[in-house]
Structure 1
Amino acid sequence: MNPKLLEEAYKRCRNICSEYARTYYLASLLMTKQRQKAIWAIYAWGTRIDEMVDGPNAVYMSKSFLDRWEERLEDIFDGRPYDILDAALTDTVSNFCLDIKSFKEMIEGMRMDTWKSRYKNFQELYLYCYYVAGTTGIITVPVMGIAAESSVSAKSIYNAAIHFGIANQLTNILRDVGEDALRGRIYLPQDELEQFGLSVDDVLRKKGD
């Protein structure tokens, strides 16, 4: 791809990251230039999917749309980007040898939001959090890198990254209980609500605020 167009692609990804996740953006500025750009490209890709499911046009979202997005992801990994933002991720994939599996799992988590709005227990919620956030940890480890002199195993580092992503998602869920309820979604496990004498209707009515 033309270097100037590629630079513009990363610039647009940077703008998305700085607008939607200022904390992550500021943290990225501590990295090397190449790693910065990779994080921006990954975040921009994830944000676009999230906006499809939770943004203003989410009511028009369908499983088939996400299926097409997954096909588009395969094109990105095959070096055939659809648009300028995809081009940034294609370049990132080639620079850091990322695995498509975690990207597909993230899409699977977004699919869950199109058909699932209740979680019976923490095990169900944990799986959802892994798909939509734990996968981010897996994707970004190759970008961050593992020091050659590290005494910690790669497996432990990946597990920590997954747990960090899941913890962030659980924090978001607790923060956005009211906002999610307006969309008809309740991520709080139903068995735990029952333990505290609350029902789904109580959450929808915002009882206990």
Structure 2
Amino acid sequence: MGLGSNLINFKTYKILKMPAFTTRFLSKIAESNQDSLNYCANLVRQHDYENFLATLLLTKAVRSPTLVVRAFNVEVARIQDQTTDSQTAAFRLQFWNDTLKLLYKNDQTLKNIPANPIAQELFKVCNSCKLPKRYLERLIAARGNILKSKHFQSLEDLEKYAEDSVSSIYYLILSISDVTNVHADHAASHLGKAQGIVNILRSVHVASYHKTVTLPMNTLMKYGISQENVLRGIDNENMRNVAFEIATRANSHLEKARAIDVPKKTKQIFLPAVAVNAYLKKLQKCNFNLYDKSLQLGNSTLPLNLYYNRLMNKY
């Protein structure tokens, strides 16, 4: 998720007024409950950098609650990377399921919420913005399902995962922004699918490190690519055909999202589309070689591109 944190030094970063905390110091702050919002913001900055940049450009009323939602997503998503033991991962996911039940309990108070900075801030956001519980549950369930299955059988399965794990975040941000619009929901669905598919393409080298293959099995078999080929990072014409087919599906969803006429105030929410498009362009430039080292480098022009699109009210 995280890309080149050295790119953070541009004007909009001052909006949050966040000092450069160390991870250890952040833990102490979180434990003492002195600055849990900054903890959430830094977690997103460290592990979901591109979405962090886009979030900085949201209007003030939406920005902080969005960072909390994205921090919750990061925390849940990281569970599969933090442990190789499936039982431990299941316990951690269950903690968040149990926490959600507490957050939505009638007449609940902050003192009864676990002393976790994300849980504490999420409780505040849920109460003030009336977040739909089902989308938070989907974020957890999506990660639980992939932990069990370890792979996607088809592109359609990958799309379903992307809908649950990424589109759900956009639905939550729309709720924070008090947007009730079927066209905005439709665009959020397509953008989430595009971004989710791109996330899988980008994570191929990381997934290989964990000895897992998340590219759709049916697509790999169609071009005669084995899981071992993927894990070994073998680049050939068939592997590039796999990447091309999956990237084409992502681009199709991106184009559909951008073609939908959505309310003006929602366009800032969909700014991450800029980063999705940039990756797909870069992948095309390196002829769909998923292992090209240039794909793992940060995008130095992304902050300016995001800022330009925000000024032009485009995504």
TM-score range, shorter chain: 0.7 to 0.9
**1:58 CA displacement:** 4.3
| Root-mean-square deviation over aligned CA pairs | 2.2
Residue type of the alignment partner of 2:144: R
* TM-score of the aligned structures, taking structure 1 as reference length: 0.84
Deviations 1:132-179 (A, max 9, x none): 212112111112343xxxxxx812211211221221111111112121
* 1:10 aligned partner: 37
Residue type of the alignment partner of 2:228: D
Alignment of 1:105-184 (within 5 A): 105-146=138-179, 154-184=181-211
* 2:217 aligned partner: 190
* 1:34 aligned partner: 61
Structure 1 moving runs of 4+ over 6 Å: none
Alpha-carbon spacing, 1:198–1:64, altered in 2? closer, same or farther (3 Å): same
**1:131 CA displacement:** 2.0
List gaps (5 residues or longer) in structure 1: 147-152
**1:193 CA displacement:** 1.3
Q: Taking every aligned residue pair, what percent have the same amino acid on both sides?
A: 18
Residue type of the alignment partner of 2:43: I
Distance 1:6 1:94 in 2: 19
Alignment of 1:41-120 (within 5 A): 41-55=68-82, 57-59=83-85, 61-78=88-105, 79=108, 80-83=112-115, 84-120=117-153
List gaps (5 residues or longer) in structure 2: 1-31, 236-290, 292-315
Distance 2:224 2:152 in 1: 17
Deviations 1:3-55 (A, max 9, x none): xx987221221221222223322322223333111011111111111121223
Larger radius of gyration: 2
Distance 1:87 1:130 in 2: 26
**Corresponding pairs, count:** 198
* TM-score of the aligned structures, taking structure 2 as reference length: 0.58
